[in-house]
Chains A and B, each alone.
Chain A
Amino acid sequence: MSGAETRTVVVGASLAGLRGAESLRKSGFAGSLTIVGDEPHPPYDRPPLSKAVLTGEIAADATTLPNLVALDATWRLGVPATRLDRVRRTITLQGGETLAYDRLLVATGASARAWPDADQARLEGVFTLRGRDDAQALRHALTASPGHVLVIGGGFIGCEVAASCRTLDLPVTLVETGATLLARVLGQHLGSVVEAMHKRRGVTIRTGVKVKALEDDGTGRVMRACLGDGTAIPADVVVVALGAVRNTAWLEGSGLSFDEGGLDCDADGYALDTDGQADTHIAAAGDVARFPHPLYPGHPIALEHWGHAVAQGARAGRILAGHAAEPYAEVPAFWSSQNGITIKSVGLTEGADGFVIARGDPKEGRFLAVYGRAGRCVAAVAFDCARWLPAYAERIAAGAPFPPEPGGVDAGTFTILPLAFPEPAHEDEA
């Protein structure tokens, strides 16, 4: 599969697509390589967008990613793929042009989930944050001395945006429908630790209440948000941070198995069709790929993690270049920094049935929590103690018993604490 006559198309010009393309070349692929991206920008790094770009420490256009390998690729930027024909093995681009492929990497990522009311979403002053242009537009609005910023959604992006607003000394309210911030990922116990951290920095937090509507001032500019409890919050900048939907709509009619939660893949990384058969001409990687993870059996997962885009992109490049498929069992990992606190996680907390504070103390702001499920360690979350984390990543990969051994000779046995994850969210409760 490394013959010079072979054509490989990468759809998606972000981190997973770029690392996938590099991996193809490093794995010996010598044929033609075309990289298609819907944005006009070359691949850029997203993590700074909700942090250093919003605070103005770095410019949005400074986030362009280095490419680590000479790609000798044809770049088709600013033009989305609109159709996949697996019989003819072609991609259709917006405008009607078709590209033929012998091997295809789907790395189309995800989009910010839009505010459900389209008219309200279009009001001036209402933003989502996913891409570089989004970050630049929001940065511009934040530098215009807004009277009050409202962030809707207490996930990681919402928390990071609220923290960035406080760094800029802007008044900000964060509204979250759940009982605490980050409850879905961390559970309510640690969610309340994060909440206290944001309150100390001056973020106003409203939990357990939903934003019902955004209202304008009569000129199409957002002015206020009406909440489910009958109260209202004045706001001239609103950031909708309700999570992401995978960019799979262009696969309609392809016969592949997908929905807004991702494109289904087999354990080798090949895309699955609606009959559950792998198409070995097509691999997927990054946010868009939903795949079975050996450490988390039960249902396939799609991960929006930076390191995952790198690792799965590299692996997809290898298999598309003709190397034997290898089992993918990377321990999921991500980081977030908020208010100068660095939260790092390994493993997945989903489905955990308890956790322990294994090192440090939440009261001191520096601690490590280990999450367990059915007597095994499944995740660890570190607040400002990254050096403790790798040892726990190894335990998670090995399925070590939970609770773990006490972390110090003076430590007593661990107390397993309840997580209080929220009930599974319904789509209409965003």
Chain B
Amino acid sequence: MSERPPSVEPNPDPQPSGGPLRVTVDLNLCQAYAQCCYAAPDHFVLNGREALHYDPAPSAAARADIERARIACPVQAIHVEDAGTAHR
């Protein structure tokens, strides 16, 4: 397992809103590879060996880090959405 964040460029935001984000992680899928913790250390933290704590409502400024974390997840457990588009 690589200890470095993968060198994947985040997707350009299709609808740049500049607004805050909503993040959920499917913790059934999560296997604590901790790639998100390397990609966005301010927003994903492992407590103990496997308990992932994450920021469900990051600010717009974190967009690139959050997107990198989403892409880095080996089990693709991270979902990201613009808060501004929610619940239309």
Contact = CB atoms under 8 A, between A and B. Distances in A.
A373 B56 CA distance: 39
B21 to A, nearest CB: 8
B51 A67 contact: no
Contacts of B32: 342, 386-387
Q: At the interface, is chain B mostly helix, strand, loop or mixed?
A: loop
A310 B27 CA distance: 12
Given A73-B88, A337-B48, A387-B32, 19 more contacts: A58-B55, A62-B57, A64-B56, A64-B83, A66-B22, A66-B24, A66-B81, A67-B85, A68-B79, A70-B85, A71-B88, A335-B28, A337-B47, A341-B48, A342-B49, A342-B51, A366-B49, A384-B49, A384-B50
Given A62-B56, A66-B80, A307-B26, A384 B48 contact: yes
Nearest to B82: A66
B24 A57 contact: no
A63 B56 contact: yes
Contacts of B4: none
B30 interface: yes
A335 B80 contact: no
Interface stretch (A41-49, A92-100, A208-216): A41-49
Interface in A360-410: 366, 384-387
B85 A342 contact: no
Contacts of B51: 337, 340-342
A340 B46 CA distance: 9
B88 A72 contact: yes
A342 B32 CA distance: 10
A414 interface: no
Contact of B53 (A57, A65, A306): A57
A393 to B, nearest CB: 10
Interface of B: 22-24, 26-28, 30-32, 47-51, 53, 55-57, 79-81, 83, 85-88
A387 B88 contact: no
Contacts of B49: 340-342, 366, 384
Give the bracket for the number of chain A residues in contact with chain B.
35 or more
Nearest to A21: B87
A323 interface: no
Given A71-B87, A306-B28, A58 B48 contact: no
Contacts of A194: none
Nearest to A390: B31
Interface string A310-342: 100000000000000000000001110101111
Contact of B23 (A66, A70, A366): A66
